[in-house]
A = this chain, B = another copy of it.
Amino acid sequence: MYRSHNCGQLRMSDVGSEVTLSGWVQKGRDLGGLTFVDLRDRYGITQLVFNMDEDDDLCTKARKMGREYVVQATGMVKERSSKNPNRATGDIEIEVSSFNVLNESKVPPFSIEDETDGGDDLRMKFRYLDIRRSPIQNNIIFRSKLSLETRKYLSDQGFIEVETPFLIKSTPEGARDFVVPSRLNQGQFYALPQSPQTFKQILMVAGIDKYFQIVKCFRDEDLRADRQPEFTQIDCEMSFVHIEDILSTFEGLAKHLFKHTLGIQLEDFPRISYDEALQKYGSDKPDLRFDMSFVEMNTFAKHPGFSLFDEAELIVGICAKGIAEQYSNKDLKDLTEWLQRPQIGAKGLVYVKYQADGSIKSTIGKFYSDEVLLSWAEKFGATKGDILFILCGETEKTRKQLSELRLELGRNLGLMKAVDFKPLWVLDFPLLEWDEEAGRFHAMHHPFTSPKKDDIPRMLNGDHDTMKSLKADAYDLVINGAEIGGGSIRIHDRALQSRNFDLLGFSKEEAEAQFGFLLGAFEYGAPPHGGLAFGFDRLCAVMNGQSSIRDFIAFPKNNQGRDMMIDAPSAIHDVQLKELCLEVKVDKKV
């Protein structure tokens, strides 16, 4: 080893020992006859001292070292005269007796500090320097710990980790596949898996009754902020289980992870149906760090003559506690304009201010008496100092708009604390979504999701409208408004799976060509089964109170799907194309 200790390890108890450290020069300071060098590795920073009086050659050499030089230094551990209480090694320093420069460094293009001056592009291009910064390094270490704890928990529960293949078959249903041309099978292609869905179901048929995998998945989608073409899933499946078994197993996993990485003991997770989530929060992934749940007002707020409400399919509001004094007319106007932006598209915002002095002030004061508005306030559970915000219109849109407003208020009022974790199971999703444009159903979860048991006869025999009302045995885990993962009980019956493919617009031939192996497997003793997948990148971010997954991925791609560091993708040699029987025809107009 080039070191006897790391740079975060030495304490007062080591004073008097001779040690050797290796690391990077964080910075140097020349103070008269002394030179101080902060030496850094991933464990910490230790101060090196060079004394001009004792060895001027050594000291002169030390003064030539620049930032990020790689250095090996040997010396005696001494107590510091001026200690640094902010640093674990701050009580000691190393009086260096000899050192080697193991490698030099150019001046880095940005500072290697917690708060860096590097822009995104520069940080990505020099990711090896970016990862030297503690925030990124800590993220990567957290991720490693989270994956190990996941494996420990699931293994202790009897789950087997099975590696499913990466070179599989393209199934154009769903998102776009990345494809891989085969040289040995000319003109044919593999696809990279969007998830191991069918393989894990095959493993259930194969008798591996508890499967998991932490696995890369791939989707060739147009990249929005915080989407990556390759991402990681905790992927799980179980046989002979009902929905309750799955929820309790993976609630157990989530609790274990919070406890063993963050030291946080989570309460039992509340559960809510999809319908109730939409009704109460306007979203199937509500953030429960604050309440502000919806109050529907149709039964009491309709008023002949006030056409805005009268003609609305839904009148719905929320109560923001204690902000009546804080929110000026200007603030309310800004909030209204924020809601009217095309991204949200509300027509307007109605508010009812229940002022500290007990009086009412409202945008709709001329339609409703103070008594009526006070009675509304009561229905909202409002007290003096609160404001009711009310939207109306078409149900689905209005709920979405009010959900946005709720979140905006949550942000503005500091109700979304990073260290506060509110998990939630959302249950009973619809099985199918009708796509008006395409004139066909889409699977709300995916084509292998089972309808609820009671809905199976209706699914096999019902009419078109019946299909819209089918509920699935599907569930999502939501934490702080982020969808961490989801899953379902699967279909394990060939006839029901075929019926589902029919409804989703597959011809018999298409279903057979793409999923024939699974339909076939269902004929040889498929057990009842179900499972779920957690988005691992997202889980890392949410557990650290961060909104972007990118800094939890060692080498992420940018929004054009490029790796800026290695400069990929790139052109390949003609000989490679020829071996694959491919020609590139780039449309010049693009």
Contacts from A to B (Cβ < 8 Å): 1-3, 22, 24, 40-42, 68-70, 72, 102-106, 108, 126-132, 137, 140-141, 143-144, 147-148, 151-152, 155, 160-170, 172, 176-192, 198-199, 202-203, 205-209, 216, 218, 220, 222-223, 229-230, 232, 240-242, 245, 492-493, 513, 516-517, 521-528, 553-555, 557, 560-563, 565-573, 576, 579-587, 590
> Bound complex: CA of A207 vs CA of B155, how far in Å?
31
> Bound complex: CA of A586 vs CA of B578, how far in Å?
9
Contacts of A573 in B (CB 8 A): 172
Contact of A103 among B128, B493, B517 (CB under 8 A): B493
Q: B155 contacts A148, CB within 8 Å?
A: yes
Contacts of A492 in B (CB 8 A): 103
Contacts of A144 in B (CB 8 A): 155, 160-162
Contacts of A131 in B (CB 8 A): 203, 206-208
Min CB distance, A568 to chain B, in Å? Answer: 4
Contact of A184 among B155, B164, B517, B561 (CB under 8 A): B561
Contacts of A562 in B (CB 8 A): 185
**Given A127-B206, A584-B581, do A563 and B1 touch, yes or no (CB 8 Å)?**
no
Contacts of A566 in B (CB 8 A): 168-169, 198, 517
Q: List 18 A-B contacts (CB under 8 A).
A: A2-B242, A2-B527, A22-B527, A41-B209, A69-B525, A102-B527, A103-B526, A128-B205, A141-B160, A148-B161, A170-B570, A172-B573, A185-B561, A186-B590, A187-B571, A191-B568, A581-B587, A582-B585
Min CB distance, A435 to chain B, in Å? Answer: 18
Other than the given A2-B240, A70-B527, A179-B580, 11 more pairs (CB < 8 A) read A42-B209, A137-B207, A162-B554, A168-B568, A179-B572, A182-B569, A184-B223, A186-B586, A186-B590, A189-B570, A190-B569
Contact of A202 among B148, B565, B576 (CB under 8 A): B565
Contacts of A513 in B (CB 8 A): 570
The 8 closest A-B pairs by CB, nearest first: A131-B206, A105-B525, A169-B568, A188-B569, A2-B240, A182-B569, A68-B525, A128-B206
> Bound complex: CA of A547 vs CA of B431, how far in Å?
48
> Bound complex: CA of A527 vs CA of B104, how far in Å?
9
Q: B585 contacts A581, CB within 8 Å?
A: yes
